[in-house]
Structure 1
C-alpha cells in the first residue's frame, strides 16, 4: 500500500479540483436529527442584510469557489478560481484585496496558473502573519473535449485544443494534484507550489496552540482516505496527523466517486475542534455532517447528521463566542444560508437566509468574516440571471 509522505515542505523563495462536484439532484426532505449535534427549533436569529452586490471585475469570466479571510490588520483577502466555464482548461488561482471592509476591491492578482485547470482558492493568515493558499487541479474538461469530433471547426474547441496541446498527455497527468503556496510578505510574493496529499476548498485552520491543521480527502494517491494534516512550523511543512472515520453504513467511495468531500474545521473556545463534511451518501444525501476532536485533532468522532441540508460549510468563530456556519443551498430557495451554535456545535439554530434569489444550482461556497464593529461580510459565487458566467457576490449583514 502506498503511504502518504511524512512531511511536505513549503519553503518560501520568491516566485509567483480533480473536483468538480457532480451536483446532487433531487429534493430529498431534511433528515430528522438523530444524534449529537442537531438543528433546533429555538429562537431563530435573523440576518439583517445591509447590501448585496456583485464584486467581480471581469464580468466576462466565470468566477468560482471563493474563500474570504480577514487579516490581523483588517485587510480582507479573497481567493478564488478565475476561468471561462465551470469546467474548462483556463482555471487559475486569483486574489483580490479590500482595505475598506469590502466596500471596494482591488484588481485581481493572478497567484498561480498551471498548464491545466486550477480550481478553488482556500486562504488563511497564520498567527505569525504568513498567508497560505490552496488549490486543486481538474481534467474533466478533457472528457468533454474528447467527446467532440476532432474535425469540428469551432472557435471554443480550437482554443481548448490549443491549451490541451501545450503539454503532452503524460505531463498533464503528472500535473494532477493538490497544492499549497505560502507568502511571508503579505502576498506580495509567493513560494513555489508544493504538493500536499489532500484538499478542501476553504483551506487550513489556525489553532491557538500555534499549530495549523488541514482536514480533507486524499484524491490523487493510491491510498484514498479522509483525514487531517498538521503543521508545527507556520505552514512551512506538513505531516499526516489523523484519519477521520467513516460513519457506520456509509461508504467513503463508490467506484471513483467520493461520498465525503469538502471539509472545513474550527477550534472552539474550549479547545474542541468541530469539522463539517459535505455528504453524498444516500443517507442524508446533500446534508452537512459533523465530526469533533477533543484532543487537538489526533482522534475524531464518527461523523453524524446535524439536520442541515446544504453544503459545503464554512465555519467562523464570532466575537461573542458563538459559531457561525455558512453554506450553499442548491434547491429552492436557491442561494446561501447561515446558522449559529451557542454551545460549540452541540445544537444549531434554524437557517438565516443570506440570499434566496438564485436562478439555479450553480452557486454557493460562501465564506464569512466578522469586522471590528461586529458586522459580517460573506462572499460566494453564483451564476446570476444578468450574466452568462458565474460572478462573485457579496453580502454585508448583521445577526439580530
Structure 2
C-alpha cells in the first residue's frame, strides 16, 4: 500500500508540470499570405498595447538565399482573422533577412533584421556553370543586375545587424541603426526599462555570443556581456539565433539554437540573475528543435515556441510555470509540414487568453513559402 501511494504521488507531481499533446486545442490553422511569386520567411508576431497585431518578415524574395530580401510588415485589427497587404520597412541593396519586432514601453516600434551577402557564393557558382542551389539559370541575369548595384566595398559596408525605429505606429521608419548583435526575433524590454538584445555578432571574426543593451529606447546600443561557452562547444560555430525574456522572479532566460556535437540541434538555455551582466553556462533543457521564441503570458507562465524540422515536421510549444527552471513536454501546434523549410514560430497572447502562433512554411506543391498561423489554447 505504501509503495502504491508513493507511485501515485509521483505521477501526480509529474502531471502538474508535464502537459501532453491532447492538452492543446488548435482552433484554426490557415495561410495568411497570398504572394505566390515570393518566398516569405522568418516572421515575428507582436500584439501591441492597443491590441493591433503586427507581423514582420523577410519578403520580396526569390529563394531561401537571394539578393532581394526586404523587411516587410502586415497588420491585423481583428485578432488575426484578416491581415493587411504588406508594407516595406527596409530594403537595402543586399539581402535583408530575419525580422524581429518589439513595442517599447514608450510606444516605439523597433524592427530588427540582418543584411547578408551569402548569395554571392551561389551567384559565382552559377556564373561558372556549376550547380548552384537557389541561383537558377533563368534568374541569373536578375541576380547579376542586383549584385552590380554596389561595389564590393559598398556591399561589405552594408553587412551586419540592424534596427529601424518608428515613433508613429509604423507609418514612417528611421534610418538603420547598428545593434551589435542579431537574433531572429529581436530584443526584449526589461522591468527597469532597459532594452536587452541577446544574440550573435555576424560580421566580427571570431563572432561573440552575448548581449547588447540600449538605455535610450533603441537609439544607441553598447556591448554589455558575453555568454559563456559550455565545455566542448565552440561559440562562434555552435551557438546561433538566441532569444530572451525576463521572468516574474527577475531572472532573464535566454535560449540558444545549438549546432554542437553534444545535444546537436537542441535548444540550450542560459540565465542571468543580475540584469544581463553575467550568465550561467548554457545547458540542455531536453528540447530538440530551433530556434525558439519566448513569451511571458499575463499569469507569468513562460511560453516557448520552436520549429521541429524532423518528423513530425511542424511547430511545437512548451510552457514553464517555474520561471524557466523546467519545461513541459511538447505541445503540438502543427505537425503537417512537408519538410524542413518551415518554422521560426513566434506567439502572442490575445485578449481572451487564447494564443496565436505565426511561422513560415513551404506547403505541398508550392514553389515558394507562405506565412501561416494557428489559433490555439491550452486546456488546463
TM-aligned CA deviation for residue 321 of structure 1: 1.6
Give the distance between the partners of 1:129 and 1:277, measured in 2 at CA. 28
Aligned to 1:36: none
Aligned-residue offset at 1:154:
3.7
Q: Provide the residue aligned with 2:86 in structure 1.
A: 108
Partner of 1:343: 322
* Residue 189 of structure 1: aligned partner: 172
Q: Which residue of 2 aligns with 1:261?
A: 240
Unaligned runs of 5+ residues in structure 2 are 1-14, 131-135
Structure 2: distance between partners of 1:43 and 1:71: 29
Q: How much does 1:40 deviate?
A: 9.9
Deviations along 1:128-171, one digit per CA (max 9) or x if unpaired, are: 10000111112221111101236899431111111111111221
- Stretch moving more, 259-268 or 234-243: 234-243
Residue 43 and residue 385 in structure 1: after superposition, are their counterparts in 2 closer, same or farther (change >3 A)?
Answer: closer
* Superposed counterparts of 1:234-253, under 5 Å: 234-253=217-236
8 Å contact kept, 2:56–2:72: yes
2:344 paired residue among 365, 368, 371: 365
Aligned counterpart, 1:133:
111
- SS, match of residue 173 in structure 1: helix
**1:145 and 2:123 equivalent?**
yes
Q: Find runs of 4+ consecutive structure 1 residues off by over 6 angstroms.
A: none
Distance 2:296 2:17 in 1: 22
Superposition deviation, residue 196 in structure 1: 2.3
Mind listing any 5+ residue stretches in structure 1 that lack a counterpart? Answer: 1-38
Structure 1 position 43, deviation (Å): 4.1
On the 8 A contact 1:40/1:349 being kept in 2, the answer is: no
Say which SS state the counterpart of residue 395 (structure 1) adopts: strand
Structure 1 position 231, deviation (Å): 1.1
Instruction: State the partner residue of 2:197.
Output: 214
For these two proteins, the number of residue pairs brought into alignment is 359
Q: 2:62 aligns with which of 84, 93, 100?
A: 84
Q: 2:76 aligns with which of 98, 103, 114?
A: 98
**Aligned-pair distance for 1:213?**
0.2
1:4 corresponds to: none
Higher relative contact order (CA 8 A, sep 6+): 1
How far residue 239 of structure 1 moved from its aligned partner, in angstroms, is: 1.4
* Aligned counterparts of 1:172 and 1:50: Cα–Cα separation in 2: 45
Residue 230 of structure 1 pairs with residue 213 of structure 2: yes
Paired with 1:166 and 1:150, the residues of 2 have a C-alpha distance of 21
Distance in 2 (CA, whole Å) between partners of 1:151 and 1:264 is 40
Corresponding residue for residue 295 of structure 1: 274
Equivalent of residue 20 in structure 2, options 21, 39, 44: 44
Is 1:55 paired with 2:32?
yes
Query: Cα distance, 1:222 vs. partner?
Result: 3.3
1:69 match = 46
TM-score with structure 2 setting the length: 0.91
Question: Quick one: distance in 1 between partners of 2:160 and 2:263?
Answer: 29
Would you say the 8 A contact 1:218–1:224 is kept in 2?
A: yes
Partner residue of 1:334? Answer: 313
2:6 matched to which residue of 1?
none
8 Å contact from structure 2 (residues 178, 221) kept in 1: no
Q: CA deviation at 1:363?
A: 0.5
The Cα of 1:273 is off from its aligned counterpart by: 0.7
